[in-house]
Amino acid sequence: MKVLQINSVCGVGSTGRIATDIHNILLEQGHDSFIAYGRDLPMNCDSSIRIGTKYDNYGHVALTRVFDKHGFGSKKATQDFITEVEKLDPDIIHLHNLHGYYINIEILFEYLKQANKPVVWTLHDCWAFTGHCSHFDFIGCNRWKTGCHDCPQTKNYPSSYIIDNSKSNYLMKKEIFTGIKNMTIVTPSKWLAELVKESLLREYPVKVINNGINLDVFKPTKSNFREINHLNNKYVILGVASVWDKRKGYEYFIELSKQIKEDVSIVLVGLTDKQIKELPKNIMGIAKTNNIIELAEIYSAADVFINPTLEDNFPTTNLEALACGTPVITFNTGGSVESIDESCGIVVSKENVNELLNAIQNIRYNFKDRTACVNRSKLYDKNDKFREYIQQYCEVF
């Protein structure tokens, strides 16, 4: 079996690592595997295919910023890529993120309809069925159900600063993305699966395959993190994100810092230099790290992990914390709650700081068994989860 995956990046970022993890399992099982990508340098894949150049990306960015036509640039880059795909002649085509300023969705789906090959499309967010945004739940927008218009988030990713083209984008996506004879939608969470069933993609079967993590790395890990950061006598609250913004709940950590006691410290990983400089004294800020061993040490050193996300698909940070033996508190939003049960964490009402504080106290004085968290994380071993994709390929091939 020959499988071609298409994603914005290869081997970097969460979606890029998912693609290369699937790629490695395919190779282990004796299949042929290729990853086509649009940006950055590829990692952990010797058979990667670049779609276009950085200059094509720049042009696509400009088209998006001015005309709000994300997904409709990169015409020549996509035509050249389709020529390569026709030569490669894969048995299965697995789509991931098609947003990211690198591919023309109209040209790509025209080929997919003509080629009539089995297609698997993993949705890592909601962009595929909206007229603009990749996330809408945290602002309570339901236009995606009937037809986007007057988008309240044009200046959010993928940002358009001049024109709102959301109505046209929605109608175009509805025409372009429907009508594939053999396509299965995969979502990492039940939450996103239910949204798909109400969306313009509702004609397709939907399967849930959770994200997985590397349990050889994310496990209880001893370190001197507390000692070197003067946290030995502190109760440590941890937050981790690749980007800390309103959607990720950054402001709730600031609010918590005003109400916690002196023997409690907050550690946030993934901050910008500017954010670190502006932190209150009882929050320790750490820049984004790609060192996953260091990250496992930080998770293990914390007493509780808080994920105050206002919308998320199936966050791997929750899984990583559990695997390191750290209980999780999360808002009741998106798919963030799906990896948590009563043995390893607490779900609180969205945006409720008082409930967050009560949950922290509950965990601090009543939670004793960190092994329960580790045991829960075993449900999300990436080797097991991503083998489910191979099973899916075999079902549709």
Q: Tell me the C-alpha distance between 256 and 161, whole Å.
A: 34
Q: Is residue 95 part of a domain?
A: yes
CA distances from 209 to 197, 213, 251, 321, 323 (A): 16, 13, 31, 20, 19
- The total number of structural domains in the chain stands at 2
- Per-residue pLDDT at 13: 86
The neighbour count for residue 87, using CB atoms within 10 Å, is: 7
| H or E stretch at 394 | helix 382-396
Residue 220 lies in a domain: no
Q: Are residues 386 and 364 in the same domain?
A: no
pLDDT at 246: 87
42 plus 86 within the same structural domain: yes
Contacts of 58 (CB under 8 A, 6+ apart): none
218 assigned to some structural domain: no
- According to DSSP, residue 381 is labeled B
Residues 69 and 121 in one domain: yes
Same domain, 328 and 249: yes
Q: Quote the domain boundaries for residue 118.
A: 2-212+382-396
Where is 372: in which H helix or E strand? helix 370-377
Instruction: Tell me whether residue 363 is exposed, middle or buried, using C-beta atoms within 10 angstroms of its C-beta: 0 to 12, 13 to 18, 19 or more.
Output: buried
**Same structural domain for residues 328 and 264?**
yes
Residue 321 in any domain: the answer is yes
Question: Is the domain of 196 the same as that of 279?
Answer: no
Q: What is the separation of C-alpha 389 from the centre of its chain, rounded to a whole number of angstroms? A: 17
Q: In this structure, are 85 and 203 located in the same domain?
A: yes
pLDDT of amino acid 86: 98
Can you give the CATH number for the domain in which 374 is found? 3.40.50.2000
Predicted confidence pLDDT, tens digits, the chain (397 residues): 999 999 999 998 889 999 999 999 999 999 999 999 999 999 999 999 999 999 999 999 999 999 999 999 999 999 999 999 999 999 999 999 999 999 999 999 999 999 999 999 999 999 999 999 999 988 999 999 999 999 999 999 999 999 999 999 999 999 999 999 999 999 999 999 999 999 999 999 999 999 999 999 999 999 999 999 999 999 999 999 989 988 899 999 999 999 999 999 999 999 999 999 999 999 999 998 878 899 999 999 999 999 999 999 999 999 999 999 999 999 999 999 999 999 999 999 999 999 999 999 999 999 988 999 999 999 999 999 999 999 999 999 8
Same structural domain, 113 and 18:
yes
d(CA 103, CA 58): 12
- Which residues have CB under 8 Å from 228's CB, separation 6+? none
Q: Is residue 200 part of a domain?
A: yes
Farthest-apart Cα atoms in the chain, separation = 65
Cβ 380 vs Cβ 225: under 8 Å: no
**Three-class SS of residue 348?**
strand
Residue 280 lies in a domain: yes
Is 314 domain-assigned? yes
Residue 173 and residue 27 share a domain = yes
Look at residue 289 in the predicted model and tell me its pLDDT: 83
Measured CA angle at 305 (ends 220, 332), to 5 deg: 130
- Whether 205 and 315 map to the same domain: the answer is no
Among 396, 397, 394, 382, residue whose Cα is nearest residue 22: 382
Residues 99 and 11 both lie in one domain: yes
Could you tell me if 186 and 202 lie in one domain?
yes
